Amino acid sequence: MLYWLLKFVLVGPLLRLWCRPTIEGTENIPEEGGALVASNHLAVADSFLLPLLVSRRMYFMAKREYFTQPGFIGWCKKQFFTAIGQVPVDRASGSAARAALDTCNRLLAEQRLVCIYPEGTRSPDGRLFKGKTGVARMALESEVPVIPVAMIGTDKVNPIGSRVWRPRKVRIRIGEPLDFSRYHGMANDRFIQRSMTDEIMYALMELSGSEYVDMYAAKAKEDAERAAKSRPARQTRPAARIPGTKAS
């Protein structure tokens, strides 16, 4: 109930005015049945704007930190993200990640529409980064099609680190479903998982027009942080002394 209330009454109308979102390819979203939506990930706004323009209810993978903040604010966040269909993922624990995948597989078996971000985290610079193979494993275990979706412009609405969303136009492009039925029964084959994931990322690259980087986004963030820490501190030049005066 809260999902539809947020979508049509409380949040949705404001987002439509603020971001003026447009969408292409909605005919590629099946009206019923389980399907896996694979999207690039530029900003937190992605998880709000995509379900706003898709008629079916969507379920998203979300980092566990959204559900574990202490205090009343943390409790409110947990209730909010749970209500809008977010599924927590502990990215630091393999067993917890497996449990999250099992949850999504259950949703797919219940004929739900599940969205996953193959990059695993937001792009640090707007480019498209290497996909993690969890998306392929999920598609093979559930035997559902993968629908590629490109979010365009959300990084201008909600840049990393920003507290206030900015009024920018957003475009969403939905590609034709990718059929991987030829690989059914091979969910444990790592070569198949990587091949499928690369095919999905290629579709996202074409839809979004983004530059592709053959590196995980998390690794790119770590490298950027390491470079920032190793950069020498900016030195302040001493103030010029007026001729004929004594230095203090």
> Is 147 within 8 Å of 177 (Cβ atoms)?
yes
Does residue 137 carry a pLDDT above 70? yes
Does residue 165 carry a pLDDT above 80? yes
Nearest to 19 by CA among 153, 209, 210, 150: 153
pTM metric for this prediction:
0.85
Burial class of residue 53 in the structure, from the number of CB atoms within 10 Å of its CB (0-12 exposed, 13-18 middle, 19+ buried): middle
* Cα–Cα distance measured from residue 92 to residue 37, given in angstroms and rounded to the nearest whole number: 23
> Is 149 within 8 Å of 207 (Cβ atoms)?
yes
Higher-confidence position of 11 and 40 = 40
Q: Kindly state the average pLDDT of the residues 88-109.
A: 76
Place of tokens 């203090």: 248
Does residue 3 carry a pLDDT above 90? no
Secondary structure of residue 28 in the 3-state scheme? helix
* Cα–Cα distance measured from residue 3 to residue 84, given in angstroms and rounded to the nearest whole number: 5
Does residue 220 carry a pLDDT above 70? yes
* Cα–Cα distance measured from residue 167 to residue 187, given in angstroms and rounded to the nearest whole number: 42
Confidence (pLDDT) at 83? 75
Higher-confidence position of 8 and 219 = 219
Mean pLDDT score across all residues of the chain = 88
* Cα–Cα distance measured from residue 78 to residue 88, given in angstroms and rounded to the nearest whole number: 10
Query: Which parts of the chain fold into alpha helices (H)?
Result: 2-5, 12-19, 46-53, 65-68, 71-83, 94-109, 134-142, 154-157, 190-208, 217-230
